[in-house]
C-alpha cells in the first residue's frame, strides 16, 4: 500500500495523566491538548515530530508488562523504539533524569540500544541506529 507515508502517532495506555505527562516531558515531549474524546486521550508532541497519544483508561498501574514479563508470549506491540543520534549523551541524560534502564546499553547488529519503562511498565527503547547492513537476510525459512 503505497499511500502509507509515516507513523502518525503512538498510542500508550496509562493510568495517570500527571505521571505519564511528567515522564514523557523528561524525554522532551511537549503537552499539546487533552484529555478529550470518549477514551479519553491526551496528546504530546516531540520536536522531532513524534506524536504520542496517552490513552487515559488503564484501570490500575500494572505490576508488570504482560507482553514482556510473562513467560507465555502473547501477541501485541511490545515496545516503541525511538532513534537517537548519540547514545553516550543519552545515557548521561538518563542518569541526570533518574531514568534507570531495564536493559542495556547493548550493542547488536543494527546499533546500540537501551531499554527503560514508564510508570505503567510500557517499554521504550532508545537506539543509536547503525542500519540493516549488519543483518543476514533470508535466514528464516518458515516459522509457521
Summarize pLDDT for 76-102 with one digit per residue, the tens.
Answer: 777 899 999 999 999 999 999 999 898
pLDDT at 104 over 60: yes
Residues with Cβ within 8 Å of residue 86, at least 6 apart in sequence: 128
- Alpha helices for the chain (secondary structure H): 17-26, 66-69, 87-96
Given this model, what pLDDT does residue 144 score? 55
Q: What is the pLDDT of residues 47-63, one digit of tens each?
A: 999 999 999 988 776 67
In which band, very low, low, confident or very high, does the pLDDT at 141 lie, cut at 50, 70 and 90? low
* pLDDT over 70, % of the chain: 85
Amino acid at each position: 500500500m503505497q499511500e502509507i507515508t509515516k507513523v502518525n502517532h503512538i498510542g500508550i495506555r496509562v493510568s495517570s495523566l500527571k505521571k505519564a505527562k511528567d515522564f514523557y516531558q523528561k524525554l522532551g515531549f511537549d503537552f499539546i491538548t487533552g484529555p478529550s474524546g470518549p477514551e479519553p486521550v491526551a496528546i504530546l508532541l516531540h520536536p522531532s515530530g513524534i506524536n504520542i497519544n496517552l490513552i487515559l483508561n488503564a484501570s490500575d498501574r500494572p505490576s508488570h508488562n504482560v507482553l514482556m514479563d510473562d513467560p507465555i508470549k502473547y501477541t501485541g506491540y511490545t515496545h516503541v523504539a525511538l532513534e537517537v543520534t548519540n547514545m553516550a549523551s543519552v545515557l548521561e541524560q538518563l542518569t541526570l533524569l533518574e531514568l534507570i534502564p531495564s536493559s542495556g546499553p547493548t550493542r547488536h547488529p543494527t546499533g546500540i540500544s537501551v531499554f527503560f519503562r514508564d510508570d505503567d511498565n510500557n517499554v521504550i527503547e532508545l537506539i543509536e541506529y547503525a542500519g540493516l547492513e549488519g543483518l543476514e537476510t533470508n535466514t528464516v525459512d518458515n516459522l509457521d
